[in-house]
């Protein structure tokens, strides 16, 4: 179903034109229903008229009160049955009434890397002048949801450009504008094609349901075509199909296509979207799991395809709206885990699928606790081919902290060991490779709180440690005992100082290493650890009770991290 888009403008309308063109060529599953300008002389209005798009002027000067202007704009939006409002170079400020009525359905493109250079006074050339005057190495563009603040809404997409010494505000503006066009179009594409419109945001987060961009489906299809012999004779099945994104526009020729989901409404929508011959089921894939429930025999060759729901109930992300103590549907005892995605992977093994082509969090492989939960699966399946992508490319996921997702093809036969995962060379879509063969801090220190604290503390305290992404948002050294307090073995204090300083450098660590434990070059660290300890004492003066070192050369620490990360270092 085409989504109707209202574009709000104030100037030349170059971003507006990028959206109109993307709708015309089918890149966006939507239609620009109207264009509203805050400026009578905006060139965007004349451009929109050339495409027979309804245009309106809603200028402050035309109304005796803000309330009358609000009513005028709301009438236009409702008349055009607006699904999504796009602010594209719009210099006005929307009222609370409009923002609340269209909550979660208004986006803005801003010419900086928010939260930097956003808010009052930061618009147009003012932004680029400020970026250059501040000596920033990078600028860029951001697409964000609009809330009642100014440039404060949730970030949906962001991309940067390098600021050269020779750049002027005008040359920088041209570079940023190209990025604006690109990320605005891609964000609208995601919002109009990949969301589950019949579910609330809470339901989506609770079920771990986010729909898959078509380019990632294409990756999966290519993996199958490249690596599965006689795939034409196989049955392709998605047991958590949602709206059928794995089959929509998918031209692979197979013996049978089966789409199934526990959500009856989603299956109904999928049935209306899929044009190829296919079979549809409303089934709970995690209950009484078997081939028979899909009319499949033991002799049928099966390729599971999909992006199974991911919902780790122990994660702090969206924790306040997740169901942490109960399932809303029945799950076989041998499939129950703390994460729906892990349960689905175990169901594929129980199903005895010949091949499994899916997206799932990379943490299922690299975190020992997850790997152990998937022991039955990895005992029977080996990795044939894969590519690592960023979670930030999915609509409505966290835009500030991306985590790695693997697009993988598994084959039944052989096995996957934890050591093989850590030694394997992994690839990104751009062809860049990386490995996980590192020394981790968890092997050297205690990361978790003790069961009982002594009555008198004779050592400093540290916050519970998880992975690098958790370190981005968590504390390090703390002063008082709490549920997350780790009691430090004073002999290990240098390593806790290492983690404390490591936190300062997480901005240089790429998304694909974000689910790892903090890693260390132990030999190099031993040579310079006094600098790390002195740095921690500078940051946390209460540590001077235990730390006597007072000489910190930040250049030495900088060079250590550049060497540690090597080609993975982000400038």
Residue numbers annotated as active site: 110
Instruction: From residue 106, give the alpha-carbon distance in Å to each of 83, 98, 129, 424, 461.
Output: 9, 9, 27, 43, 44
103: Cα separation from own chain's centroid: 21
Closest CA to 321 of 204, 153, 483: 204
Eight-class DSSP state of 247: T
DSSP secondary-structure letter at 276?
Answer: S
Say whether 550 sits in a helix, a strand or coil.
coil
Apex 524 CA angle, 523 and 530, nearest 5: 110
Strand order in the sheet with 54-57: 54-57, 30-37, 3-9, 84-87, 106-110, 138-145, 155-162
DSSP string for 305-341: EE-----BTTSSTTGGGS--S--SS---GGG--SBHH
Q: Which residue has the tokens 């009770």?
A: 545
List, in sequence order, every beta strand (DSSP E) within 10-154. Answer: 30-37, 54-57, 84-87, 106-110, 138-145
537 with 550: CB under 8 angstroms? Answer: yes
- For the chain, the farthest-separated pair of C-alpha atoms sits apart, in whole angstroms, at 78
| Six token digits for residue 374 | 């998937």
DSSP 62: G
Beta-bridge mates of residue 463: 485
Q: How far apart are CA 27 and CA 185, in angstroms?
A: 8
| Residues 163/137, Cβ–Cβ less than 8 Å | yes
Look up residue 423 and give its two tokens: 């030694």
Cβ(523)–Cβ(529) below 8 Å: no
Contacts of 197-206 with CB under 8 Å at 24 or more apart are: 198/265, 198/266, 198/269, 201/104, 201/321, 201/396, 202/321, 204/396, 205/311, 205/318, 205/321, 205/322, 206/311, 206/321, 206/322, 206/323
Instruction: Decide: helix, strand or coil at residue 33.
Output: strand
């Amino acid at each position: 179903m085409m989504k109707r888009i209202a574009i709000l403008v104030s100037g030349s309308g170059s971003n507006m034109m990028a959206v109109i063109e993307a709708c015309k060529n089918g890149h966006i599953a939507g239609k620009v229903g109207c264009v509203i300008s805050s400026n009578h002389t905006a060139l965007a209005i004349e451009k929109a008229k050339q495409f027979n798009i309804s245009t309106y002027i809603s200028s402050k000067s035309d109304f005796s009160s803000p309330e009358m202007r609000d009513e005028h704009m709301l009438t236009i939006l409702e008349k055009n049955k607006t699904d999504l409002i796009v602010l594209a170079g719009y210099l006005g400020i929307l009222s609370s009434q409009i923002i609340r009525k269209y909550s979660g359905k208004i986006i803005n493109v801003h010419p900086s890397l928010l939260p930097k250079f956003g808010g009052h006074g930061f618009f147009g050339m003012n932004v680029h002048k400020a970026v250059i005057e501040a000596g920033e190495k990078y600028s860029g563009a951001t697409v964000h949801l609009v809330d009642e603040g100014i440039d404060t809404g949730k970030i949906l997409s962001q991309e940067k450009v390098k600021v050269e010494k020779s750049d002027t505000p005008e040359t920088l503006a041209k570079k940023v504008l190209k990025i604006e066009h690109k990320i605005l179009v891609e964000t609208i594409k995601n919002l109009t094609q990949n969301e589950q419109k019949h579910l609330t945001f809470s339901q989506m987060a609770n079920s771990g349901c986010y729909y898959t961009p078509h380019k990632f489906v294409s990756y999966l299809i290519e993996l199958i075509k490249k690596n599965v012999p006689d795939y034409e004779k196989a049955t392709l099945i998605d047991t958590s199909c949602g709206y059928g994104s794995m089959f929509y526009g998918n031209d692979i020729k197979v013996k049978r296509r089966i789409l199934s989901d526990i959500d009856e409404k989603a299956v109904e929508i999928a049935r209306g979207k899929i044009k190829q011959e296919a079979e549809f089921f409303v089934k709970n894939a995690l209950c009484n799991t078997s081939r028979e429930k899909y009319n499949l025999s033991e002799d049928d060759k099966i390729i599971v395809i999909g992006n199974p729901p991911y919902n780790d109930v122990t994660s702090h992300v969206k924790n306040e709206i997740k169901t942490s103590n109960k399932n809303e549907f029945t799950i076989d005892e041998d499939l129950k885990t703390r994460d729906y995605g892990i349960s689905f992977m175990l169901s594929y093994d129980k199903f005895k699928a010949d091949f499994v082509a899916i997206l799932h969090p990379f943490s299922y492989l690299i975190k020992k606790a997850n790997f152990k939960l998937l022991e039955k699966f990895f005992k029977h399946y080996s990795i044939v081919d894969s590519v690592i992508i960023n979670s930030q490319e999915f609509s409505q996921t966290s835009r500030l902290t991306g985590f790695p997702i693997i697009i993988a093809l598994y084959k039944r036969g052989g096995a996957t060991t934890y050591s093989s995962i850590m030694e394997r060379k992994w690839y990104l879509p751009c062809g860049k490779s990386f490995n996980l063969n590192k020394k981790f801090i968890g092997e050297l220190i205690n990361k978790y709180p003790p069961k009982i604290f002594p009555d008198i503390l004779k050592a400093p305290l540290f916050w519970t440690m998880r992975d690098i992404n958790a370190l981005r948002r968590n504390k390090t050294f703390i002063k008082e005992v709490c549920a997350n307090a780790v009691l430090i073995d004073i002999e290990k204090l240098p390593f806790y100082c290492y983690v404390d300083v490591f936190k300062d450098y997480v901005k240089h660590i790429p998304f694909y290493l974000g689910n790892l434990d903090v890693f260390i070059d132990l030999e190099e660290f031993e040579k310079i650890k006094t600098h790390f300890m002195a740095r921690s004492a500078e940051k946390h003066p209460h540590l001077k009770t235990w730390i006597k070192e007072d000489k910190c050369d930040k250049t030495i620490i900088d060079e250590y991290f550049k060497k540690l990360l090597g080609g993975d270092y982000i400038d």
